[in-house]
Amino acid sequence: MILTGPEIEKQYKLNRITINPFHQSHVNPNSYNFRLGPVLKCYVNEVLDPKFPQETIDIPVEDTGTILLPNKIYLGHTLEVMGSDHYVPIIRARSSVARLGLFVHVTADLIDIGSHNQWTLQLHAVQPVKVFPNMLIGQVTFWEPLGEIELYKGKYQGLMGPQPSQIYHDFEEEIVV
């Protein structure tokens, strides 16, 4: 069951949802608008090998706008620290942003319950598009889980700023089929 906007605000006030900073004007009928943080990361290598850590460069999001180009993945982050130990967050682009051809999360829209941090956004532009710091870029919805809750304790917990893939850790463990 999805929380309505007024219920998101109520659960925020009860400390069952973390949104910091919180702005009442960002509450929608069943979501909360989040903003783009001031830094992007971009991978250096043209071919990305998931078995190894990938080198990245930081790209500041300029006040005058930073142009995102097609055929690249840019790692951005939410300006807000968000999370919940009680609800499952799902993120997506605001429809106004999607109408510009900007994917905000590519395929990773489900945030684990118990994950509290600035969430990394996987930005992909269909055509060149400008982004700005503090831009209202996406929405988060909160869903009530069914069943026993096990909180996220993964490798990205509590991190700030955009985080590159750490999938290479998966190859460190022997996978038994």
pLDDT tens digits for range 48-64: 999 999 999 999 999 99
Phi, psi of 73 (to 5 degrees): -110, 130
For residue 174, pLDDT over 80 is answered with no
Confidence of residue 177 (pLDDT cuts 50, 70, 90): low
CA distance 101 to 174: 39
The contacts of residue 19 (CB under 8 Å, 6+ apart) are: 12, 32, 34, 80, 81, 82
Domains and CATH numbers, the chain: 5-172 (2.70.40.10)
pTM of the model: 0.91
CA 9 to chain centre: 20
**C-alpha to C-alpha distance for 28 and 145, rounded to whole angstroms:** 21
pLDDT tens, position by position, 124-151:
999 999 999 999 999 999 999 999 999 8
| Residue 153 CB coordination number (10 Å) | 9
In terms of Cβ atoms closer than 10 Å to its own Cβ (0-12, 13-18, 19+), residue 102 is buried
Element (H, E) at 10: helix 5-13
